[in-house]
Amino acid sequence: MSATTRVHLVYPHGTRISTPDAIGRELGRRLEARYEVVYHNWSDLGAIEPEPGDVLLGHPHPHPNSVFRRSLRQDGWRRRLMLAPFHHGDLRQIAFVDLIVPGCDLFLAITGPYWFRTIGESRCSHWRPKMIPLEHAVNRGDFPPLKTCFAESGKRRVLYIGHSGRGKGTPYLAEIAALVPEAEFSWMGSGRPIPGLTAIGYTDFSSDQGKDLVGQFDFLMMCGNADSNPTTILEAMAWGLIPICTPTCGYEGIPGITNVPNGDAAAAAAIVRRLLWADESDLIATQTANWRLLNEHYNWDRFTADVTNAIESTESPHLLPESPKRRLMFTFYDITSPYGRVAYGRLGRLASRLRRRWDKLRTGWIAGRHQGNATGKGGRRKP
């Protein structure tokens, strides 16, 4: 392709140092060295009318009328490339994509080794010919080293960063924490309480206060069961924390990232306890190796090179056959999922409004009940 090729990049690209904005911003800036880049937000509506030689590259939004999905159906694109996180652990999150993958030349799947290794055993196996694995990256300038030493053995602290919703495996994390009562487990993020973890709440990691807080911890622990390839793990490595995670966070068999098994809290707790008592020299050696790994592999230049190869490629393989049963299953999940076609239609918007009203009423009812318990029956304060 010529240097004047125009790439329409459909991805969040704001100023925040966290993903997904970091992906659109870091990738777009590097693509500009070779192409004319036109930025679009993934939630924009409408369609792009391509000119000859244009490339569509981006993240599909669940909304049926969003810009990537509408533009994908336009004639005249030189390349149609989907770029999005991938895991096959929860079809509710990805079912809507089954209608999109066939229209793409390639699917650049931001995913970890575990998910790509096991795709042949999954219900997404028919996508495999179009898929190119793409591992995440981190800008070390945004996540500078924060740890110069580790706490003494037995007094080290464990941190979880993220929400407590579906796919993050926080009930399992709580189960592990309960088996290691001698360690302090804390949580930066939002959502329903996680038993046994001290809630710190939202933290701005770009602020000095946020960095000082993170530097007080020794390990990051994530127990996701449907998490594609979270950059939080790479960010923690850049800060100098030692990451611990389940393989279903995507990271598997990577030196410096300690894996704990799924579904065996006792075995996981034993691994955590071993790290709590490890020699500091071993932790510093792991930290140093992790920084080298970030420099050599998990960087935006390598990420952009992989994307550029797909842009310059002419590959557009056919999907494997999809059985009627599997197609029906994807349709079911697409219809019933909060990320599916119904959720973004009129019925879905009505359901969302009703859900928000119910949550508001429920919150008020719980608050009133707690107040009643504090004052005693009949609203009279207990003596």
- Domain containing residue 178: CATH number: 3.40.50.2000
Residue labelled with tokens 């020699």: 279
Residues 284 and 258 both lie in one domain: yes
Helix (H) or strand (E) holding 39: strand 36-40
Tokens encoding 140: 């070390």
Instruction: Say yes or no: 310 and 266 in one domain.
Output: no
Give the pLDDT confidence score for residue 364 in this predicted structure. Answer: 63
In this prediction, residue 344 carries a pLDDT of: 77
Say yes or no: 114 and 210 in one domain: no
- Give strand pairing partners of 198: 186
CA atoms within 13 A on the CB side of 7: 28
**What CATH number has the domain bearing residue 58?**
3.40.50
Cβ atoms within 10 Å of 369's Cβ, excluding its own = 10
Q: Are residues 186 and 287 in the same domain?
A: yes
- Structure token pair of residue 197: 């973890």
- What are the strands of the beta sheet with 131-134, ordered from one edge? 36-40, 6-10, 55-58, 79-85, 106-110, 131-134
- Hey, how many other C-beta atoms are within 10 angstroms of the C-beta on 53? 14
**What DSSP assignment string belongs to 83-142?**
EEE--SS-HHHHGGGGGTGGG-SEEEEE--HHHHHTGGGSTTGGGGGGEEEE-----TTT
Same domain, yes or no: 264 and 303: no
Does 305 share its domain with 218?
Answer: no
Task: Please give the pLDDT value at position 382.
Answer: 37
- Torsion angle of alpha carbons 117, 169, 26, 39, nearest 10°? 100
> Are 83 and 175 members of one domain?
no
Name the phi and psi angles at 159, rounded to 5: -125, 140
pTM for the full predicted model? 0.87
pLDDT score of 374: 46
pLDDT of the residue at 383:
36
Q: Is residue 142 part of a domain?
A: no
Q: Do residues 189 and 72 both lie within one domain?
A: no
What pLDDT was estimated at residue 342? 78
- What is d(CA 174, CA 195) in angstroms, rounded to the nearest whole number? 6
Residue 351 forms part of a structural domain: no
Residues 319 and 220 in one domain: no
The amino acid sitting at 122 is: S
Residue 365 in domain: no
Q: What is the count of structural domains for the chain?
A: 2
119 and 184 co-located in one domain:
no
40 lies in some domain? yes
Q: Tens-of-pLDDT digits for all 383 residues of the chain? A: 555 799 999 999 999 998 999 999 999 999 999 999 999 999 999 999 999 999 999 999 999 899 999 999 999 999 999 999 999 999 989 999 999 999 999 999 999 999 999 999 999 999 999 999 999 999 999 999 999 899 999 899 999 999 998 889 999 999 999 999 999 999 999 999 999 999 999 898 889 999 999 999 999 999 999 999 899 999 999 999 999 999 999 999 998 999 999 999 999 999 999 999 999 999 999 999 999 999 999 999 999 999 999 999 999 999 999 999 999 999 998 888 888 877 776 666 665 566 567 656 765 675 565 455 544 544 443 33
Pairwise CA distance, residues 290 & 237, whole Å? 6
282 part of a folded domain: yes
Strand partners, 81: 57, 106
Q: Is there a single domain that holds both residue 222 and residue 307?
A: no
Strand, helix or coil for residue 202:
coil
Is residue 381, in this structure, part of any structural domain at all?
no
- Identify whether residues 56 and 170 lie together within a single domain: no
Task: Categorise residue 161: left if φ over 0, alpha if ψ from -120 to 50, beta otherwise.
Answer: beta
Residue 254's domain comprises: 157-296
End-to-end alpha carbon distance in the chain: 81
Contact between residue 248 and residue 169 where contact means Cβ atoms under 8 Å apart: yes
Q: What's the pLDDT score for residue 302?
A: 98
Amino acid 351: pLDDT: 58
Q: Within a domain: residue 60?
A: yes
Q: How many CB atoms lie within 10 A of CB 242?
A: 26
**Would residue 348 count as lying in a domain?**
no
